[in-house]
Amino acid sequence: MLIGLVGAPNKGKSTLFSAITTVDAEIADYPFTTIKPNMGVGYVATNCPESAIGAKCNPRNSLCSGSMRMIPISIIDVAGLVPGANLGKGMGTQFLNDLIAADALIQVVDVSGKSDLNGNPCDWSDPSLEVEMVFRELVEWVSGIITRHAASILKRQDGAKALAEVLSGFGTNAEEIERAASANNLSLSNIKWDADSARRFSSTFLKLNKPIAIAANKLDKAGQGKLTELKKKLEGYTVIGCSGEMELALRKASKSGAISYAPGSDLFSVKTALDSSKSAALSYILDFIKKNGGTGVDALMNAAVFGLLGQIVVYPVENENKWTDRYGNVLPDAILMDKGSTAMDLARKVHTEMAEHMLYAINARTKERLSKEYKLAYGDVIKIVSSK
């Protein structure tokens, strides 16, 4: 799974990326700090079911911190978009091809309003305009791809299939294409769309193919009032207030051994003696996370993966009584699945041959026998029974 970070310049995107991934990205208080995409791995957190079996888990494809299972997610951070990027302004849009495989996007905005659409410092700039501007540039990016291939698309009777091929890098299919066209009353037979039609299609297509969560960043410099105002203006969007700067400071302090901090927590404990400036800074951060239920960074990741993408977590095991694999590892794997997935879908994800010879599944919590068509629930612990 891949999450892309987008936004206008100087909104704290690189800081947020570093906070999520603990990868040292170049960070500066001026536009276009990021030129080449940054790649890293972040995590989504969920309660580990180890307490239900009364044994400590032995994670193989994830981590476990306290009682929280941390599931890895790939993150990519690309250069900032400015108004007119599709016309070549700023860094242009060529780097957007790095986002083409992303399953969802997180747009980082400056909820404090202290930087304009071009990333320059200002007294006030409405962050909702950042969302409109970036989405407009993304629409121009997609519609531009369609326009460049208009001649080849026109020759095809099956426009849905033709568009799916042109936009194949997005991981789309004919069904998604048909949904986007239908929502705009556009014919898919020998497509002859004008520029406006291509834009309308691209707008709907993006909402289906690249759902967007809004990171209302720099909340520590803004306050809840501005966050509430932004949420009203962006009704229909998932908007999460956060402070990438504070999360990054906490993770660095935890890594150095100065504090004990679990990502997503609204508390931490000081482990070493600190000078007055560091103590004051940590006191300020502690007050913020207590008031806001954390820095918001962990909540942002969970909102994108579990909310926008509708993922659930399932734990496959081989021993339904001890919840172990063949080597005795307790709850070794935490697997993300689409909501609505079946036991057969889980078998396919574990091993193709297992799915081919699957007989049934067992709910390890209840010991109930399940059919191949059983729809998985969040937190299920499942044994797949196969003839091989």
For 285-302, the pLDDT digits (tens) are: 999 999 999 999 999 999
Query: Where, residue-wise, is CATH 1.10.8.470 in the chain?
Result: 2-37+78-233
- Asked if 82 contacts 118 with a C-beta cutoff of 8 angstroms, the reply is yes
Buried b / exposed e along 177-199 (16+ C-beta atoms within 10 A): beebbeebebebeebebeeebbb
90-94, 237-241, 328-332, 372-376: lowest mean pLDDT where?
90-94
Percent of the chain's residues with pLDDT above 70: 94
Query: What is the distance between the terminal CA atoms of the chain, rounded to a whole angstrom?
Result: 29
Query: Where, residue-wise, is CATH 3.10.20.30 in the chain?
Result: 312-386
Q: Cα(345)–Cα(354) distance, rounded to whole angstroms?
A: 11
* C-alpha closest to that of 22 among 286, 336, 253, 294: 253
When pLDDT is averaged across residues 345-369 and rounded to a whole number, the result is 96
Q: How would residue 25 be classed by pLDDT, with cut points 50, 70 and 90?
A: very low
- Asked if 78 contacts 210 with a C-beta cutoff of 8 angstroms, the reply is no
- Asked if 36 contacts 94 with a C-beta cutoff of 8 angstroms, the reply is no
Fold assignment, 312-386: Ubiquitin-like (UB roll) (3.10.20)
C-alpha Rg value of the chain to the nearest Å: 23
Q: How would residue 155 be classed by pLDDT, with cut points 50, 70 and 90?
A: confident
When pLDDT is averaged across residues 333-342 and rounded to a whole number, the result is 97
Predicted confidence at residue 260, as pLDDT, reads 93
Tokens of 118: 């071009």
Is 70 exceeded by the pLDDT of residue 35?
no
In terms of DSSP bridges, do strands 38-47 and 68-77 run parallel, antiparallel, or are they unpaired?
A: antiparallel
Q: Tell me the residue length of the chain.
A: 388
Predicted confidence at residue 3, as pLDDT, reads 96
Q: Cα(321)–Cα(24) distance, rounded to whole angstroms?
A: 43
| Number of CB atoms found within 10 A of residue 35's CB | 11
User: What's the whole-number average pLDDT of the chain?
Assistant: 91
Task: Render pLDDT for 52-95 as a digit per residue (tens, 0 to 9).
Answer: 999 999 999 999 988 899 999 999 998 788 888 767 665 556 66
Q: Cα(227)–Cα(326) distance, rounded to whole angstroms?
A: 49
72-81, 208-217, 296-305, 370-379: lowest mean pLDDT where?
72-81
Predicted confidence at residue 32, as pLDDT, reads 44
* C-alpha closest to that of 288 among 262, 316, 268: 268
Q: How would residue 23 be classed by pLDDT, with cut points 50, 70 and 90?
A: low
Fold assignment, 2-37+78-233: Helicase, Ruva Protein; domain 3 (1.10.8)
Contacts with 56 (C-beta within 8 Å, 6 or more apart), sequence order: 50, 330
Percent of the chain's residues with pLDDT above 90: 81
Please classify residue 278 by burial: count the beta carbons closer than 10 Å to its beta carbon, then call 0-12 exposed, 13-18 middle and 19+ buried. middle
